[in-house]
Chain A
Amino acid sequence: MSGHAEATRAVSQPRRRARFSARRAWTRAGRYLVVGVALAFFLFPIYWIVVTALKLPAEFMTYPPVWFPAEPSLIQFRLVMKLRGWEALRNSLIIAGGATVLSLVLGSLAAYSLARFNTGGRHFGFWLLSQRMMPPVVFVIPLFLLFRDLGWLDTHHGLIALYTVFNLPYVVWMLRSYIAGVSPEIEESALVDGSTRLGVLWRITLPLVLPGIIATATFAFIFSWTEFLFAVVLTRTNAYTLPVTISGYFGSQGSAYGQAASLAVVATAPLFVLGLLVQRHFVRGLTLGAVRG
């Protein structure tokens, strides 16, 4: 009996192995198929906006669509930048940059306090975070009235102040977790040598968490750069940002799409560069540290 079983096993072993490797080849082919379809679906729209920006006006309202522009041209790009493009880019840089710097300066102080002194206990951190949970539209009406009374409508500093406040809970929460990862003993020796808290924070702690700071700053910049609702409500003819300017082309038919697409590429390119730079922090940054990438 046992000899017979041994014999069948000896026969079937190679066959089973062959079947097994065939199945693995199929599985691998299937995986590549899924990945290929996913890449096509997720990358084609990006290709399309770039190509639309490079087309000549005659090429983007045609059927069938023009898949490859005959003569890629920057004419739309030049046109839109001269009109409102440079101004919008400048506004976006000032506003997103200003809000990023301010929220990082204020936020790192608060984050240090929460990490080292446990200021306000557990609830304070969560309360701060809960500020980000509400739909922004809830704040739009009171802020519109407030900004009107302060004379802050359509100003750079108005949007900088607002985006700073909306970034702060995020910045504090992220930096707190990075700072908590630095051992307090490193700071204590400097404190004993007579340094002040701020000196220690500036010269010892912050340099140690620099990668975390860069990642947090990048996300704060992206949030401010992409924000649309407040920008469209609180700006008109002076402090309009890139998203607002692009949205201005939506009413127009046909001919202006090329200019809108060019401006869209201008608005997107810096984010791709920044995003790929902080790739490794991506998951942690977007889940407020709840999931480590």
Chain B
Amino acid sequence: MSAAVPVDVRERATIRRRRGTFAGRRRRDGWLLVAPTLVAVLALGVFPLLYSLLLSFRRWDLQVPGQPFVGLANYGTALADGRVWASLQNTLLITVVGVGLEFVFGLGLALVLVDELRGKRLIIPLLMLPVMMVPVVVALTWRLLWDAQNGPVNFFLSAVTGRDVDIAWLSHKGTALVAIIVTELWQWTPFMFLVLLAGLTAVNPELYDAAALDGAGWWRTLRDITLPALSAVIAVSLLFRALDAFKAFDLIYLFTQGGPGTSTETISWYIYQLGLKFFRMGYASAVSYLVVIGLTVVATFYAARFLREEPV
């Protein structure tokens, strides 16, 4: 009996130690499995970002030998650079107007197609097609459509208005921005539509029955029942689309190259020009960093404000 106590203690210690090693092994296994991903992301994701932070403190120029350290000078230049602000303005215009219209049209289509309709199972996949297209192909397609002399858009407008329409869409700032936004919303309205349709399908039908009993009309049902029930889905879809639209580069490259002059530049296009056409790597990095900082602040604020529930 007297020997039983130490045995018991020893046994417990062994169990504790074994449990400890078990948890430790789980943690080690866990990190081993993550390691390849982590190394890859650090090497080609985090390292380039840090590298460009260092670049942003240097004057890296083709005309200037060496890369002298200039502190925050690049940032000062960037804040005073009219092209930075003008290109940001274009980017925001494309993002806000484009995503706004995508939302309105996407919601409209989703409301039309949420109830049973003959042919719905064929219509929905057809409406998905633009989302699946290569952006470069979308740009090529719409360049043919916007063509001033032979384009179907001008032909259609001529037929509708009864006058000879020959707008050179991509050669003027205003019409080029319209063309960019319409092309964007052609590709991405279906995305909004699909996401909102999924959200609408999940709304509890009893809510509508209750609203109908109360005699609520179409508009009041939409405003007081549908939109509040959809708010989480709306927040997610707007965030995704806005982040994506803010990157606008492909269409600018392929439609206008930022022109005429620099009037349709977006911030991505301007940074690309600075770094890879004028080889002002340091300055381009500083402008990039201003975008990173601005976007992080806005996205954090947005996430805290609108994405309360964890989006999983």
List the interface of chain A (C-beta within 8 A of B): 28, 31-32, 34-35, 38-39, 41-46, 48-49, 52, 60-65, 106-107, 109-110, 112-114, 116-120, 124, 128, 131, 133-146, 161-162, 164-166, 168-169, 172, 177, 197, 222, 225-226, 228-229, 232-233, 242-243, 246-247, 249-250, 257, 260-261, 264, 267-268, 271-272, 274-276, 279, 282-283, 286-293
Contact = CB atoms under 8 A, between A and B. Distances in A.
A290 B202 CA distance: 13
B49 A109 contact: no
Contacts of A162: 44
Interface string B7-51: 000000000000000000011011111101110110111111101
A197 B138 CA distance: 45
B125 A276 contact: yes
12 contacts: A39-B126, A48-B145, A49-B137, A52-B144, A106-B36, A133-B243, A139-B52, A145-B281, A146-B47, A226-B135, A271-B132, A291-B237
B135 to A, nearest CB: 6
Name B's interface SS. helix
Interface string B110-148: 001100010000010111111111111111111111000
Contact of A138 (B44, B194, B271): B271
Contacts of B220: none
Contacts of A292: 198, 202
A142 B240 contact: no
Given A39-B123, A131-B46, A293-B194, 12 more contacts: A34-B109, A43-B126, A49-B141, A109-B33, A117-B33, A136-B247, A139-B49, A141-B52, A141-B276, A229-B272, A264-B140, A283-B198
Q: What range describes how many residues of B lie at the interface?
A: 35 or more
Contact of A287 (B132, B141, B236, B295): B236
Interface stretch (B172-180, B206-214, B248-256): B248-256
B134 A243 contact: yes
A54 to B, nearest CB: 13
A29 to B, nearest CB: 12
B254 A250 contact: yes
Contact of A165 (B40, B136, B151, B240): B40
Nearest to A245: B136
Contacts of A279: 125, 128
Interface in B184-242: 186, 189-191, 194-195, 198-199, 202, 233, 236-237, 240
Contacts of B26: 117
Contacts of B247: 135-137
Contact of B155 (A64, A177, A229, A247): A64
Nearest to A165: B44
A249 B299 CA distance: 37
